[in-house]
Structure 1
Amino acid sequence: MNYEEFKQCLSAILKEKYAKEEYEVNIRKIVKNNGLCLDGLCIFHKEEPVSPTIYLDSYYQQYTRGALLADIIDDIEKEYARGMRLKPVLPNVEAYYETVRSQIIMRLVNYDKNKEILEECPYIPFHDLAITFRWLAHQDSIGISTALISNKELEVWGISLEQLYEDAVRNTEQLFPAEINRLRDVMAAKGIISEDTDFDLYLVTNEQGINGATCILYNGLLKEFARVHKSSFYLLPSSIHEMMICFADENISEDMLLSLVRKANHVVVTMGEVLSDNIYYYDYICEELSMIENY
C-alpha cells in the first residue's frame, strides 16, 4: 500500500471497530512547526470533546519496514488510550489564567517559516526568530504535551504580552533547567567517539532535550557563560532542541560556521526541527547578542 491507501485503510478499520460505541474517527491535516503538515488521526466520543492527535507518518514508516497492520492498529489504540488517560482538564475560562499561569512556557521558532501561525498567536520578535507561548498540559519520561496560546486566549485573560513573557520565562527556567556541556563529553556519554577538532564546542539545551534552544533566553545564561570563560562566542542553532557554542577566538571563520549550520539544516535536521540558517554572536564586553547572516 502507498501512504494514501494506508491512511484510508486505517480509517476504515477504526471506523468499523468503533461504530457501535458512538465514536467518530477522522484524519485531519495538522500544521506543525515551520509549516510542516502532518496527518493526525483523532477518535472522538460523542460525550468527549477532547481527543489525542495520533500522527500517522511514523506508523507508515513501521509498515514499510514490515510491521503488520494488526500490530499497528493495536499500537494506535494503545497510544489513544494513553492520551485519554493523560488528557488535560480544561479549567473554567473565568479563572483560566490563574489556573494555568504556572504552566505557561515559551518556545523559540523561526519567524519566516511560521508566519501563518504567528498571525494567530502572541509572540515577541527575536532577531530572525519569534518567542511563542504555550501551555504545558503534561510532562513525563516519554515527552511533553503542550498547546499554543492564541490571541483569543490572551484577550480573554486580559493580561499583557509583557506579563505573559515574564511568567513564561520564570516557568520555563524552572520546568526545563538549562544544561551547558562540552560537545565531546555529551557524545562520549552516548558512546559516540568524536573526531578531534582544533576548536572546542559546547552544547546548550535543557535537561529534557526538548526545545532546548530556548535556553538562550534564560536570564543571565549567556552573560554568565561568557564571564566564566572570559570570551565572546558564536551561537550555532543546530535545531530547535539545542544550540552549539563556538568561542570567538577559535581559528574558524564566520562563513565556515554559517556553512556548517546551513549544510546541517539541509542534510541532517528534519524540516520541523530547523531553527535558523543564521548564527549569533555574543559580545563578552558589550554583553549583547547580534545576528550574523552574511555568507
Structure 2
Amino acid sequence: MENKLTYSEFQEHLLQAVRQELKTQGSYQCELTHNQKNNVESAGLIIRQEDHVIAPVFYLEKAYQSFLAGMPLQQISRELVEAYQEQVLPEVDLPDLTDYEKIKDRLRVRLVNRENNQSYYKQGPYKLHPMGAEVLYIDLENQGTERMSIQVKTIMAERWGKPEAELFGTALENTQDHEKVSFCSMNEALQELLAEEPMVAPLEESPMYVLSNETRKFGATVLLYPEVAKQIRDKIGKDYYILPSSIHECIILPKEKGMLSVKELRDMVWEINQSQVLPEEVLGNEVYEFRDTVAKVKKCSKEERER
C-alpha cells in the first residue's frame, strides 16, 4: 500500500509528484536536500523557478506524518506547490562570496550546541567554547523584514586566505555592533510577554534574569562578547549560574544559600530541553557558572553536579 512507504521512499515519490504538478506551470527545478542544522538533520524539498536567485526549502517531516495519517500523496504534492506559489520570495542582496572585502562587514558569529553536533559546526571554521561552539556566518540583507544567513564553509575561508583568528575577531566585532545585549529580570521578561493578555495576575518575584540580544535570535551569543559576563556579575553583585535555556537566551541565577543544588539545576535544564525546546534550538544540558575570583565562564565540575 502507498501509505506504507518508508520516509526515504516517501521523499522520492513526493519529488516526482511535485515535478509532475509543476510540469505544465513553467520552468522549475525541484530537488531533495538534507540540511544539517543545530543538532538535527532535516530532509527538505527545494523548488526553484529558473530565473530566481533564491529558493525556499520545504521540510518534509510534517508532510510525512500527514501521509502516514492517510492523506494522499497527490494532495500533499498539490498543497506544497500551492504553498510555494502563494509565498513572496524576498529580494536578497547576494554578495560575491569569494571576495572577502565585499563580505567582511557581513560576518557574524553564533554560539551553537556542541554535545551532539559535530557534523554541523565542523562544516566550516569553528572555535570551542565552554558552553558550545562558535561558528561563523554571513548575514544576507534583504529588502523585507526577514534576514537570511549562511554558514561560512571551509572552502570559503580557504579562498579568502585570512587567518581564522582574524575572521572570528571581525565577526565578533560585527555581531556586537548589530546585536546589542539585552539583560532583564525574569519578571520583566514575563511582563513583556504578557503585556497583551487581559487580567493577568501579579507575578511573584523571581530571582532569575534573562540574558539575550535585542532581537532574541541566537541571543546566547552575547556571552562571547568581552566583559559581558563580568558586567553581569557587577550588576547583580553576586557570583551566578548560567542555565542554557536555548541558543536564543540564557537564564542567569545568582548564587544564594539554600538554593537548588547544581545537580538539581542540571536535571531541570535537561528536562526543559526534552519537553519545551525544539531540538534545533537546544544549546546544551550542562550548568555553567561565573565566579568573580576566576573571572570567566566555566562548566560546573562533576563533583559539584553530583554533590
* Structure 1 stretches lacking a partner, 5+ long: none
- Confirm or deny that 1:150 pairs with 2:150: no
State the Cα distance separating 1:229 from its structure 2 match. 2.1
State the Cα distance separating 1:53 from its structure 2 match. 2.2
Deviation sequence 1:79-110 (CA, Å, 0-9, x none): 3x41xx334423162xx111111111111112
- Confirm or deny that 1:266 pairs with 2:274: yes
Which residue, 20, 23, 27 being the options, matches 2:28? 23
* Structure 2 stretches lacking a partner, 5+ long: 195-199
Give the whole-Å Cα distance in 2 for the aligned partners of 1:7 and 1:18: 16
Number of equivalent positions: 287
Which residue, 57, 65, 69 being the options, matches 1:53? 57
Larger-Rg structure: 2
Aligned alpha-carbon RMSD (Å) = 3.0
- Confirm or deny that 1:42 pairs with 2:50: no
Which residue, 175, 181, 197 being the options, matches 2:178? 175
Instruction: Answer yes or no: is the 8 Å Cα contact 2:92–2:142 preserved in 1.
Output: no
Between 200-209 and 219-228, the greater mean CA deviation after superposition = 219-228
Give the whole-Å Cα distance in 2 for the aligned partners of 1:87 and 1:159: 26
Q: Counterpart of 1:86?
A: 91
Q: Counterpart of 2:214?
A: 207
State the Cα distance separating 1:19 from its structure 2 match. 2.4
Give the whole-Å Cα distance in 1 for the aligned partners of 2:142 and 2:181: 17
Give the whole-Å Cα distance in 2 for the aligned partners of 1:184 and 1:24: 50
State the Cα distance separating 1:44 from its structure 2 match. 3.2
Instruction: Answer yes or no: is the 8 Å Cα contact 1:227–1:284 preserved in 2.
Output: no
Give the residue type in structure 1 aligned to 2:38: N
Q: Counterpart of 2:287?
A: 279
Instruction: Answer yes or no: is the 8 Å Cα contact 1:136–1:147 preserved in 2.
Output: yes
Instruction: Answer yes or no: is the 8 Å Cα contact 1:187–1:194 preserved in 2.
Output: no
Q: Secondary structure at the match of 1:91?
A: coil
Give the whole-Å Cα distance in 1 for the aligned partners of 2:276 and 2:95: 38
- Confirm or deny that 1:184 pairs with 2:187: yes
State the Cα distance separating 1:17 from its structure 2 match. 3.7
State the Cα distance separating 1:168 from its structure 2 match. 1.0
Give the whole-Å Cα distance in 1 for the aligned partners of 2:145 and 2:14: 25
Instruction: Answer yes or no: is the 8 Å Cα contact 1:41–1:55 preserved in 2.
Output: yes
State the Cα distance separating 1:195 from its structure 2 match. 6.2
State the Cα distance separating 1:123 from its structure 2 match. 0.7
State the Cα distance separating 1:72 from its structure 2 match. 4.8
Deviation sequence 1:262-281 (CA, Å, 0-9, x none): 11112211211111111111
State the Cα distance separating 1:176 from its structure 2 match. 1.6
Give the whole-Å Cα distance in 2 for the aligned partners of 1:78 and 1:62: 21
Change (3 A) 1:139 1:124: farther
Give the residue type in structure 1 aligned to 2:19: K
- Confirm or deny that 1:237 pairs with 2:237: no
State the Cα distance separating 1:234 from its structure 2 match. 0.9
Change (3 A) 1:284 1:92: closer
Q: Secondary structure at the match of 1:219?
A: coil
Instruction: Answer yes or no: is the 8 Å Cα contact 2:21–2:81 preserved in 1.
Output: no
